[in-house]
Amino acid sequence: MLEKALRGSKRYYLWLAILAVLIAVGAAAYTRQLTYGLGLTGMSRDVPWGLYIAQFTFLVGVAASGVMVVIPHYLHNFRAFGRMVILGEFLAVAAVIMAILFVFVDLGQPTRVLNVLLHPTPHSIMFWDICVLGAYLLVNIVIGWAVLGAEKKGFPPPRWTRILTILSIPLAISIHTVTAFLYAGLPGKAYWLSAIMAARFLASAFASGPALLIILSLIIRRFTSFKVTDLAVDALVKIVCYAMIANVFFFLLEVFTSFYSAIPSHQASLRYLFVGLDGSGGLVPLMWVAAVLALAGITLLLVPRLRRNLRLLPVSLVAIFVACWLDKGVGLVLGGFVPNAFGRVTDYLPTANELLIICGVYALGLFILTILYKIVIAVRTTNEEELSKTDS
Amino acid sequence: MSELRRTQKDIKGTYVTKGTVPFVTYVPFMSLERREFIRQGFAAGLLGLGALGSLGALGTLVGCSKVAAPAATAPAATTATAAPAAPAAQRWGLVIDPALLVKTQAFNAVAQACHSHHNVPQISDPKTEVKWIWQDDFAHCFEEMDSAYLPAALRELQFPVLCNHCENPVCVRVCPTQATFKRDDGIVDMDYHRCIGCRFCMTSCPYGARSLNFCDPQPYIAQVDPGYPTRMRGVVEKCNFCVERLAQGLPPHCVEASQGAILYGDLDDPASEVRQALAGSLSIRRRPELGTEPSVYYLLRGAESPTDAPKGGEPHA
Ligand code: SF4
């Protein structure tokens, strides 16, 4: 089926070429980091995890969000999502690959990464995260490929893919729950030490992931003959909206507990993020942008007339997506490290080299996603053409 | 004999240099048993089980080093045979008298001894520095106990801080490769060769006790001490309670340099010096509410009183 990815328009090749350049630049930046060490990043003794791990955390959420199409389609027979299921699965594949790559580029000794498998350590949440992420990646590749292969030959998908798809639902929930547990079980990190962490992670994932999926579907609809129906879009938009409301609600629960209890250690990170602490507040503007975007996005999606406006829809979805990214792909990880074990504030600012590596990983993910989507579209459109030929 | 057989079994899967030098040059994946072997090997060698055991054990340790090993083993081995048998402990702990340390002005010597003997690179940038033991004031070390009306003497007192060798170490719990592990004697030790540099331990340690080698540490080591392995970039490190010294029956470097202000011993033994000191005075630990059970105690023996510090003389000077 891969041959389908080789035939495309000029625009398609141009897009891939741009991504390839970004990947190459990222790879060069990573080589620098590899030879010098993590000192080339903005990370420090006090902020040992930076944007890499934050991207990992965010992307695991994007990957998990595929279930928001799978559940209605497979468990509730909501057939309108039929065309979107495979898009969701392949988005999950690209997102998991990026997530894993972000962990990899974050390692101080990447050549030893297999030590995690050679010395399996069940008391480390990292071990479980790798297990569920690997399983989820595999399941999605296998399902997507099998379903598409059957479709190409004009057969219905084999029965076992259905079983595997249903299995992927708890797996999707587990990848993001376990990722939340990386943070939520650490004594002494008050901002993360919260029982609602996993729930908040899932809510934000189910808002940001499907938002991205809709944006991608709209782009595909615009540039190809592969049409996702309005009904499907509207249904998924509602899911995005309510998930985002839950996400904001969970966040406000954190704010209440921290500030009504008035325990200083529980307030410190939130203060640092939203008003600044001890004169440091580099993230403050970003967090307020996130807050405004979240509320604006929710309003735009909640009012039916605004939601159905297809011109406005991408704007609303981008607002939601960016808000979730700022919250989880920036603030959550960085905020948790402030203050440090001695009550001091250490700021983190990513370096240019670090940002290039991040761009490179995202470009690689987009490259993979483009190829996978190209194959989906090619298979589907040729099938439909043949169908219409036989019909006439 | 059984120990010997054990060592042979455990050494499988590692490279041993061919020829006469019986040290391991490359230990890619140490298993827990291998650490057991290092420890037992040390003990065996020191108990006089033979030069082979001793050299093998020392070699294993030095094998982690980039430093030329054969030269390193020789002096260490001599010390080993001369030293008394390594004392065993259920749970090693430190008791620090910060006021006494200020009085004797020994802290710089303490940090110097620790850092130079362990080849800790001296990097000046506070963001990427590597440190095993350093000082901070009461308000920062014991934030939750701080108040505006503390005696000025206590406020100004500097407290040495280091890895607490927690009874329930979070760093060990989160490490995905068991590169950080807790020994039976309570010491939280590390295998620098297994560490993948994920920094989960740095994130989780509630005491900020851990440092990453953000770059190659070699240029920042003034003089390499062959008695302890140097590290490479990308791995985490921290205080190791001088396991290499304990195995030779010697006190940790900080204890030795502290002029009596830092005591070490078995916290499980009521007769030990540390327990005696703790029984005779008020002591505090950092963030005990987290349940990590730190093994480093700080004495407040009336030192907080501005008039005559410390009361009752210096029983362990
Ligand atoms: S102080 Fe930190 S590094 Fe040391 S044992 Fe405790 S958790 Fe681990």
Query: Which tens digits make up the pLDDT trace of B103-113?
Result: 999 999 999 99
A97 C-alpha vs ligand 1 centroid, how far in Å?
32
Select from A129, A79, A73 the least CA-distant residue to A100: A129
Token pair for B66? 């980039």
- Which residue in A44, A110, A115 is closest to B194 by CB distance? A115
Average pLDDT, chain A: 93
- A130 contact residues in B (CB cutoff 8 A): 176
- Percentage of the residues of chain A whose pLDDT score is greater than 90: 82
Domain boundaries, chain B: 92-299
**End-to-end Cα, chain B, rounded Å:** 42
* d(C-alpha A81, C-alpha A59), whole Å: 22
Domain count for chain A, please give it.
1
Q: Tell me, what's the pLDDT at B118?
A: 97
Q: Which class for A242: exposed (0-12), middle (13-18), buried (19 or more C-beta within 10 A)?
A: middle
| Percent with pLDDT over 70 in chain A | 98
pLDDT for the residue A365:
98
Select the residue of A48, A109, A123 nearest B196 (Cβ to Cβ).
A109
Q: What confidence tier does B156 reach under pLDDT thresholds 50, 70, 90?
A: very high
Is there a domain that residue A54 lies in? yes
What per-residue confidence (pLDDT) applies to A138?
95
Cβ atoms B167, B91 nearer than 8 A: yes
Give the HSE-up count for residue A301: Cα atoms under 13 Å, Cβ half-sphere: 30
Q: Minimal Cα–Cα distance from A37 to chain B, Å?
A: 5
Partner residue facing B129 (CB), from A45, A108, A344: A45
Residue A277: DSSP 8-state:
B
CB of B294 closer than 8 Å to CB of B288? yes
Name which of A376, A358, A273, A362 is nearest A51 in CA terms.
A358
Q: Mean per-residue pLDDT for B191-195?
A: 96
Residue pair B146/B153 in contact (Cβ under 8 Å)? The answer is: no
Q: Are strands B188-190 and B211-212 parallel, antiparallel or unpaired?
A: unpaired
Please indicate, yes or no, if residue A77 is contained in any of the structural domains. Answer: yes
Q: What are phi and psi of A353, to 5 degrees?
A: -60, -40
Spatial CA neighbour of A275 closest among A261, A260, A263, A291: A291
What is the Cα–Cα distance from B285 to A134, expressed in whole angstroms? 41
Structural domain for A52, as ranges: 45-184+363-382
pLDDT per position as a tens digit, B138-150: 999 999 999 999 9
- d(CA B149, CA B66) in angstroms, rounded, equals 51
Q: Which two tokens stand for residue B127?
A: 């963001």
Range in A94-98, A308-312, B97-101 with the lowest mean pLDDT: A308-312
The confidence band for A382, taking pLDDT boundaries of 50, 70 and 90, is confident
Taking 90 as the threshold, does the pLDDT of residue A389 lie above it?
Answer: no
* CA dist., res. B292 & res. B60, Å (int): 31
pLDDT at A17 over 60: yes
Is the model's pLDDT at A386 over the cut of 80? Answer: no
Closest residue in B to A127 (Cα–Cα): B176
Q: In this predicted model, what pLDDT tens digit does every residue of A200-245 receive, in sequence order? A: 999 999 999 999 999 999 999 998 888 899 999 999 999 999 999 9
Q: How confident is the model at residue A275 (pLDDT cuts 50, 70, 90)?
A: very high
Report d(CA B260, CA A171) in Å as an integer: 57
Digit-coded pLDDT (tens) for A67-81: 999 999 999 989 889
The answer to whether the CB of B262 falls within 8 A of the CB of B96 is yes
Q: Which residue of A has its CA nearest to B174?
A: A124
Query: 22-61 in B: which are within 8 Å (CB) of A?
Result: 29, 31
Domain assignment present for A169? yes
Confidence of residue B86 (pLDDT cuts 50, 70, 90): low
**A199: three-class secondary structure by DSSP:** helix
How does pLDDT run across A32-71, given as a tens digit for each residue?
A: 999 999 999 999 999 999 999 999 999 999 999 889 999 9
Contact of A49 with A106, CB cutoff 8 Å: yes
Given a cut of 90, whether residue B6 has pLDDT beyond it is no
- Domain assignment of residue A99, yes or no: yes
CB pairs below 8 Å between A and B: how many?
A: 141
Residue A209: the pLDDT is 96
Over residues B17-69, the pLDDT tens digits come to: 333 333 333 333 444 444 544 444 444 434 433 333 333 333 333 333 333 33
Mean of the per-residue pLDDT values of chain B? 77
Res B84: pLDDT = 52
pLDDT digits (tens, 9 = 90+) for A325-372: 999 999 999 999 999 999 999 999 999 999 999 999 999 999 999 999
pLDDT at B314: 43
For strands B92-96 and B296-299, give the pairing: parallel
| Chain B residue numbers touching A118 (CB-CB < 8 A) | 29, 177
Q: Is residue A301 part of a domain?
A: no
Residue A152 within any structural domain of the chain: yes
Q: Do B212 and A127 touch (CB under 8 A)?
A: no
Q: Which atom of ligand 1 is nearest to the CA of B294?
A: 6
Collapsed DSSP state (helix, strand, coil) of residue B244: helix
Residue ranges around ligand 1 (CB below 6 Å): B 163-166, 169-171, 188, 205, 207, 209-210, 238, 292
pLDDT category at A385 given cuts 50, 70, 90 is confident
Any domain includes A97? yes
DSSP code, position A387: H
Check residue A207 and give its pLDDT. 97
- Residue A187 has its nearest CB partner, among B136, B175, B290, at B290
The CATH number for B92-299, chosen from 3.40.50.880, 1.20.120.160, 3.40.50.300, 3.30.70.20, is 3.30.70.20
Q: Is A124 on the interface with B (CB under 8 A)?
A: yes
User: Residue B50 has what pLDDT?
Assistant: 37
What is the rounded (10 degree) CA torsion for B13, B18, B23, B29?
-20
- Determine whether the interchain pair B128/A44 forms a contact, defined as Cβ–Cβ distance below 8 Å: yes
Q: Do A127 and B176 touch (CB under 8 A)?
A: yes
Tokens representing A203? 């809510």
DSSP B162: E
Complex ipTM value: 0.92
Residues 169-228 of B with CB under 8 A from A: 170, 173-179, 194-200, 202-209, 211-216
Strand B236-237 and strand B211-212: pairing?
Answer: antiparallel
Q: With bands split at pLDDT 50, 70 and 90, how would you rate the model's confidence at B75?
A: very low
